[in-house]
Amino acid sequence: MTETRFWLIRHALVEENARSIVYGTMDVELCPHTLEAQVPMYAALARRLPRPAAWLASPLIRTQKTAAAIFGAGYPEQALTIVPGLIELGFGEWQGQGHAAVAAQLTQLPHAFWPLAGAERPPGGESMADGILRLAATMESLAVQYAGQDVVAVSHGGAIRCALAHAVGLSADNALHFSVENISLTRLDHTPRGWRVACVNELPGI
């Protein structure tokens, strides 16, 4: 079995109105002003990523447009394979609600960096523990499908935290301590001895 390297990128910042709500798996647009201002960061990311590589994205348009921005900044344009398992955590009935409205429904804050504990689900949504199981199955399947290759996958903050948790065997609560910024790079290597973390939340050009 050979080593497979996954270059996981969180999508770009979404537009201002979307940032005021819990959007989860909703399809929302990227912020055009930030896209323009961060062109040098996209160029740095384009130089950082391996060539050749297989390119994957979640079904949501914000990941696909982030990939397009990287291509526009200098990485040769690639065909994108859409992988449903890379989608963001679903927040169920909270999606579309303002952050203050969601906060008003909570009687306590069980985690320092998340409104719910790792095993708790939003109404009709996914918990972090659910997400870890989903990303575990997705990453293991992709490691077989793309064995020995470099894989660039544009995904989401929650999904990347879940992939990290699977890679190093973290609990759902501990996985919530990871910071995954917009357009940051996290690399996970699948090796004959298991998963290895090469970098987390690396910001391009910084």
Cα distance between the two ends of the chain: 34
Q: What is the pTM for the complete model shown? A: 0.95
4-202 folds as Rossmann fold (3.40.50)
Mean pLDDT, rounded, for 103-113: 75
Whole-angstrom Cα distance, residue 146 to residue 53? 10
pLDDT at position 1 is 53
Percentage with pLDDT > 90 across the chain:
87
Q: Does 205 score more than 90 pLDDT? A: no
Mean pLDDT, rounded, for 8-22: 97
pLDDT at position 169 is 97
Domain spans in the chain, listed from the N-terminal domain onward: 4-202
Residue 4: CB atoms within 10 Å: 21
CA 201 to chain centre: 10
Least confident of 23-37, 100-114, 172-186: 100-114
Q: Bigger pLDDT: 118 or 64?
A: 64
In tens, the pLDDT along 41-53 reads: 999 999 999 999 9
pLDDT at position 108 is 67
Do the beta carbons of residue 61 and residue 27 sit within 8 Å? yes
Do the beta carbons of residue 158 and residue 192 sit within 8 Å? no
